[in-house]
Structure 1
Amino acid sequence: MHRRAAALLRAGPRGGGAGALRRPRNLIEGLGCGSIINVPVIADGRTLGVLNILDAEATYDDDAVVVAESLAPPAVSALLNLEKENR
């Protein structure tokens, strides 16, 4: 079975699992964002960063997660280049 690395979260009261994000959650909700997709950007087993995609509640579905995951590979190249420049 394939397990997704990306996560679709709900910032609203039904979000349940976002308790560790209380302060950012208040900011996110204040901006009117209730749907969040977080996609880890990983190269060679090392997390380089996370793509955070936010919009109004109930905006995203599983298809949106698939599209968001497709953004991670180009982000790997960009972040690795940025690391090289900052050495």
Structure 2
Amino acid sequence: IGGNCVLIDTDAHNMNYIIRRGQNTDWGISSPIVIEDDVFIGVNCIILKGVTIGARSIIAAGSVVTKSIPADCIAGGNPAKVIRLL
């Protein structure tokens, strides 16, 4: 992960990166994101809070993962859905 990147686990955040640097992030409701072993996540994916991506799964580029994805599958789209079992 490059410099000055932000991973946010709350519902709201400022879009301006300069403001985000000094922002107090004690607000919002967070929930863990779990990425299990041997997962491949394509470029430009958005993974929302509370999601688990099961072991050995593949998430297609540009997907928006709003719900948990089971192990051993390919998922993609907006919202991401299981496309194929592996």
- Shared fold (TM-score, shorter chain, > 0.5): no
Query: Which is helix-richer, 1 or 2?
Result: 1
Report the TM-score when normalising by structure 1.
0.27
TM-score (norm: length of structure 2): 0.27
